[in-house]
A and B are shown apart, each in its own frame.
Chain A
Amino acid sequence: MAKKNTKIKASSNGSHNQNGTSHQDISLSVQKTYKLYIGGKFPRTESGRYYKLKNSKGKFVANMCRGSRKDFRMAVVAARKAQSSWAGRTAYNRSQILYRIAEMLEGRKEQFITELVELGSTTTAAKKEVQLSIDRLVYYAGWADKYQQIFSSVNPVASSHFNFSILEPMGVVSAFAPEELGLLGLVSIIAPAICGGNSIIILADEKLATPAISFAEVIHTSDVPGGVINILTGLRSELKGHFSSHMDVNAIVYTGDDKQDIIDIEHNAVKNLKRVRVYDLDWYSEAAQSPYMIMDLQETKTTWHPIAHDMTGGGGAY
């Protein structure tokens, strides 16, 4: 613990990259290489590019992978591969896994608080953000086996049919993490998407990328199958076109209020009728968690099932 404190102190002194500020402790701190999270693995970007992440005060934090079009493509392949078996799991099991993510995050609170403070958050705000992120995961863990009952319906029809509407996941979702709250914003987008059986490729915010990749480590130890959640880092401006034009992506979640971005994304989304969802929310608020955010990434399937009037055949269920 003493060592850890030294490290925190060292980084707040502005010498994050080298230790040796303390005369007693001559061991070098080992820096983490932040990589991408694709298909349950942590590859570097295939492009070999990186960008320097600086915090709100302009201090260098880490070199982050500058993810490319091809990284995104690999992530879509992984997400597509993982999606159907994820959707095929029982709602109860998805619930358990979401809860498991919360458990793992709980155990690593301190690390996330440190990282958020490093990016410029106050300690009080960081503590609140991590706690709310855990709560949000538990919230969606609770919804996983309930939203289907709430939003599905049996519909009155005039013919001799049993008519019902049920929800099915959109499939592969691409998303942009909000430009504020590096952990809570990310969790608020990921949780409802996977709760409803989708797989997701999310681009961490450029300036808040370190907790996103640390969160990938949490996911990695939470029984989430590889490929269900994929986290990239890089430049939104460079990747938004690919996120919105890939034909094998079924829905896209945009966060923010840049009018031109939204127009471009909607324009690209037409190619395969991607569903576009735009969120511009206060992620601390109650409004930022809702079963309607699960519903936003669901398709409604309506089925007509014939009812037999004579009891000798047909109908089945009767």
Chain B
Amino acid sequence: MNFHSSPIIDQVGLEERAARLMKRSIKKSSKETALKLALNMIDLTTLEGQDTDGKVRQMCYKAMHPHDDLPDLPTVAAVCVYPTFVKTAKQALKGSKVKVASVATAFPAGQSTLDVKISDTRFAVSEGADEVDMVISRGRFLKGEYNYVFDEIAAVKEACGKARLKVILETGELSTLDNVRKASDIAILAGADFIKTSTGKIKPAATPAFTLCMLEACRDHYYKTGQMVGMKPAGGIRTAKDAIRNLVMVRETLGEAWLSNEWFRFGASSLANNIILQLEKIRTGNYHSMDYISID
């Protein structure tokens, strides 16, 4: 395939546009709506070497019951775990609408053979994962082996079956906006259901400029083909304010159709509790404390 068709990114222009979108002031009822929407878009994530079944079960409970003091609070969108915890999560979430996403393909470095990555993916799906978060081979990409990266994504997509595929570009390792745009285009053309900024293990991750650049790739693809592709910024989004700013970017770049957890997600762990703090502030009128909110 010809991957030289990706547009060159005007870095200064893009950063300025992103900065301008960051400055919108969202208040009162719009803020409350945005906060609940953002909560409903979270992939509550634990991807640590020290994860255990107990930790995953606890997080699943949090996913279904973010904060029971607040009535009418939505659940989060999904939990995101390693393949070995998919079964545990699936059981813990039984009866709820919360989905299970699993990272796969030798997350987070992706330095493994295609066979291993495919079997990793098949295992996650066979355990019941609704969604698969794969990482691309950044080394190959940076060497210019775009066809390899494309084929790999396509092969993983095939292994996913019905599970939706999120493709992690790891923006912090791609360095330039041009690379991020090219990788976005490759992932979208290879069949990604979502494109995702980062693993959360590398900084910088979901900076406004990287996120906007990827959103524009989704937009251009939609204009060209009429097909929607989802977006998931992950890594470094910790506050309700960050989340609302992201929603503004989505609304302004892709439109309202993307403002649902079908098409937009946040990869985050501490974001949920920060959103709850803000919602409690709105409910009670007082700034709230983490002392009254369960840990995630």
Contact = CB atoms under 8 A, between A and B. Distances in A.
Nearest to A268: B286
A248 B277 CA distance: 11
Contacts of A271: 286
A246 interface: yes
Contacts of B284: 247
Contacts of A73: 287
Interface in B183-227: none
Most chain B CB within a 10 A radius of its CB, from A245, A247, A272: A247
Contacts of A247: 284, 286-289, 291-292
Interface string A70-103: 0001001000000000000000000000000000
Contacts, number: 24
Contacts of B291: 247-248, 272
Interface residues of B, number: 9
Nearest to B292: A247
B290 interface: yes
Main secondary structure of the interface of A (DSSP, over half): helix
Most chain A CB within a 10 A radius of its CB, from B286, B288, B290, B292: B286
Nearest to B288: A247
B26 to A, nearest CB: 15
B281 to A, nearest CB: 9
Nearest to B280: A247
A302 B21 CA distance: 53
Nearest to A70: B287
Contacts of A248: 287-291
* Smallest CB-CB A-B distances: 8 pairs: A248-B289, A247-B289, A246-B287, A245-B286, A247-B288, A247-B286, A73-B287, A247-B287
Interface of B: 284-292
15 contacts: A76-B287, A242-B287, A245-B285, A245-B286, A245-B287, A246-B287, A247-B284, A247-B287, A247-B288, A247-B289, A247-B291, A248-B287, A248-B290, A248-B291, A272-B291
